[in-house]
Amino acid sequence: MAHTAPGRRERKKAATRQALETAARRLFLERGFDKVTIAEIADAADTAVSTLFAHFPGGKEALILGDVQEREQALAAAVRNRPTGVSILQAVRRYLATRGPFDTDADAETRGIVELVVATPALRTYARTLWTKCEDTLAGVIAEQTDRDADDLSLRLLARFILQVPDLTGVEPDPPAAMDVAFHHLQRGWPEL
C-alpha cells in the first residue's frame, strides 16, 4: 500500500497543533506554568480557545506532556520492536532513557521543560497519571511477547512497577543512575523478562 502525503486539512491541523505547542513552551519557559493561561496560549498561537481544547483536551498539561495514546504506542513499539537478544526490561529501559530527565542528550529547551515539569506539582501529577494509564497496554504487550495471559498478576505488577519508575527516579539528583538502580531491582524480580 502506497503512502500518500497528508491532505491540506491534515497539514493545517498539524500546523495548528505545532503552533499551540510552540507558544505554550515559550510562554511556560518565560513565565512559569502557573502564570500562563489557556487564553494567552491560544492568543499567542493565533487560534481560539476552543481550537486549543480540540487539539489538547487535557488542557495546559497536555501541551507540555502529550497524551496517553502517544506513550502507549511508544511503549508497545519499544517492546515489540526490540532487537534480538534485548530483553523486555532492557527495551523499556532504553525507551525511558530517551524521555524527560533521563535523556542525557536533550537540548536546552527540552532540559528547561524537564525542569519545569519536575518543579511544577500539577505537571508532575499529570505526568504520573499519563504513565500509570499505560499499565494495561504495557502488561498486554508483555503478555503478547511472552505468551502469557494479559490478566497474569505478575505482569500487571511488573507493568505498574515499571510505570512508577519515571516519577520516582526523575527527581533524583542523577535520574539516569536512579533509573538504573530501579531496573536492576526489577530485573532481579523478573529475571526471565
Return the amino acid letter for 20: L
Task: Indicate the DSSP class of residue 83.
Answer: P
Average pLDDT, the chain: 93
This prediction has a pTM of 0.85
Q: How far apart are CA 52 and CA 187, in angstroms?
A: 42
Q: How far apart are CA 95 and CA 156, in angstroms?
A: 19
CB 20 within 8 A of CB 27: no
Q: Could you read off the pLDDT of 67-109 as tens digits, one per residue?
A: 899 899 999 999 999 999 999 999 999 999 999 999 999 999 9
Place of cell 517492546: 79
Residue 136 phi/psi, 5° resolution? -65, -40
